[in-house]
Amino acid sequence: MKALNDFERYLELLCKGLGHSNRHRNLVDYCYGLMLPIEQKNIESLAAYADPANTSAKRQALHHFVSKSDWSDEAVRDRVLQWAAPALRAEHDAVWIIDDTCFANKGRHSAGAARQHCGQMGRQDNCQVAVSLSLANEKASLPVEYRLYLPREWAEDDQRRAKVGVPEDIAFATKPELALEMLHRAKKTRIPCGTVLADVGYGKDTAFRDGLTSLGLPYVVGVTSQLSVWPAGRAPLPPLPHARRGRPSKLLRRGPGHEPIAIKSLARELPATAWRTVTWREGGTATLTSRFAAVRVRPSHRDFRRSEVRQEEWLLMEWLDSMDAPTRFWLSTLPEDVSLERLVKTAKMHWRIGRDQQELKQEYGLGHFEGHSWRGFHHHATLCVAAYAFFLAARLRRSEAPRQPVAEQPALQLVRESLPRCTHTAATARTGLDLTFVPAHHRLASCSAFAEMPLLRRPSEVRGML
């Protein structure tokens, strides 16, 4: 069957990034387990499904493969992108999305675990935070890298770093700095970089926006309402004339009556004709529509310490009908002739990341890692993305293919008979692997267009083909 052949070719491609052939078997077993619809995808459960007769030995092998073995995450991720990017049509309309995700962790021994803001709970709690970079279009998103955020208390504690194996070259970096490092690496891949999207947690950082511009990447990023800008037609005053003594001043100036304005105040001053109703996509139950306005501005952050005027950008504003003032703001370096509709649709593409992150954590095991090491977390995240990418590419390709008649679709019951049956008590109730499995929060009307695909063979059969 084509899907089985595709899976075998995919695993063979991934194995080429491991370096040593003795790692191939564990990659196949680990990825296979992550694809199974089992409840808890920790090493114990994955070992029980991969080798029921020798669970203890398999558990040790998988633990060493994930937490100890020094294979390159980047090499495997490059092969994942090589497989999945064509399905995402990355060369046409793809964007890069920066986000972070939290992993609740009650202990203090896991790499990066500390009391910090946890987005899942909406409050400060003990957790790990990972910054992610995703390749996305209007249909789907694929995280291509996760990087644990290392709080300063961890970065400056040599004993804790050594215990979890934090590499010596990893120093403290803010989340926006981590994001820029990831984008810099992404530019080296064969995948063209598109517009960068990020929420206000990153967009409010002027150094982050300047870093994107220096990388040659256009962006649409959220900003706070307190951000100050120069409206169109206004700019800082030029440097003071030379007073014959001393060095001439090169710094821009402000003055009484010549100050930047907060974007929230600017939004209130716009005439009613500046606001237009824009529809950006069909939601699950209704069309998503709101009022928007876009004007050209110059960010003013610390420009009195600059010698050059900043370039103009787009300031996009959203005003919900239920609110008495605009509530959401974005800065964008998209071209000056871009339409308001295009600005809005690009800014709103950031929504994709939340749903796909949830699926990765709940259905593909990203949130199930129980180890403490730095290497183990990043290896596990890479393998979760690898498993997810195969399903994602299969769904996208199936959605574009002509729908097969029901009578011509593969019979799932015949394939299920070849699935391994685990008698281990830790195994979960659900068995079987369906390439068209879609979590409850993805079961929309559009999902009915996906043709049914067969289940995968048992791990031993797949291993024998690699």
pLDDT by 10s per residue, the chain, length 466: 566 678 889 999 999 999 888 999 999 999 989 988 888 899 999 999 899 999 999 999 999 999 999 999 999 999 999 999 888 876 667 899 999 999 988 888 899 999 998 766 678 889 999 999 999 988 888 998 999 999 999 999 999 999 999 999 999 999 999 999 999 998 887 776 789 999 999 999 999 999 999 999 999 999 999 999 999 888 888 887 766 676 777 778 887 878 899 999 999 999 999 999 999 988 777 789 999 999 999 999 888 778 788 899 999 999 998 888 899 999 999 999 999 999 999 999 998 888 888 889 989 999 999 999 999 999 999 999 999 999 899 888 887 655 444 333 333 332 333 333 333 333 333 334 444 444 443 333 333 333 333 444 445 544 444 5
Provide, for the chain, the percentages of residues in helix, strand and coil under a 3-state DSSP scheme, each rounded to the nearest 5.
40, 20, 40
pLDDT, one tens digit per residue, over 90-109 is 666 789 999 999 998 888 88
- pTM of the complete model: 0.83
Q: How far apart are CA 141 and CA 97, in angstroms?
A: 9
Q: Which two tokens stand for residue 346?
A: 């690009």
pLDDT, one tens digit per residue, over 37-71 is 888 899 999 999 899 999 999 999 999 999 999 99
DSSP 336: T
Q: How far apart are CA 217 and CA 48, in angstroms?
A: 46
Q: How far apart are CA 36 and CA 387, in angstroms?
A: 10
Cβ atoms of 153 and 114 closer than 8 Å: yes
